[in-house]
Amino acid sequence: MQITCVAYETGEIIGSFATNVVRQRDSNKEITVGFDGEALTVKEQLAGGKKQLHLISIVGMLGSGKTTLAKKVYNDPYITHYFHIRTCTYVSQVPKKREMLLNILHFVNLFTNEITNMSNEMLGEKLYKHFKEKRYLIVIDDIWNIGV
71 lies in the same domain as 118: no
In Å, how far are 4, 25, 47 from 51, measured between CA atoms? 18, 37, 9
pLDDT(55) > 70: yes
Average pLDDT (53-80) is 84
69 lies in the same domain as 87: no
Residue 136 identity: Y
DSSP secondary structure string for all residues of 77-102:
HHHHHH-SEEEEEE--SS--HHHHHH
Q: What is the pTM of this model?
A: 0.66
Residues 6+ apart with CB under 8 A from 31: 23, 24
Contacts of 8-13 with CB under 8 Å at 24 or more apart are 8/45, 13/38, 13/41
92 lies in the same domain as 63: no
Alpha-carbon span 143 to 91, nearest angstrom: 6
pLDDT(45) > 70: yes
Q: Which of 37-41, 49-53, 115-119, 131-135 has the lowest mean pLDDT?
A: 49-53
Domain encompassing residue 100: 83-148
What pLDDT does 21 receive?
A: 32
User: pLDDT category, 67, cuts 50, 70, 90?
Assistant: confident
pLDDT(18) > 50: no
pLDDT(129) > 60: yes
pLDDT(127) > 60: yes
Query: Which residue among 63, 82, 101 closes a domain?
Result: 82
Q: Let me know: does 50 contact 84? Beta carbons within 8 Å.
A: no
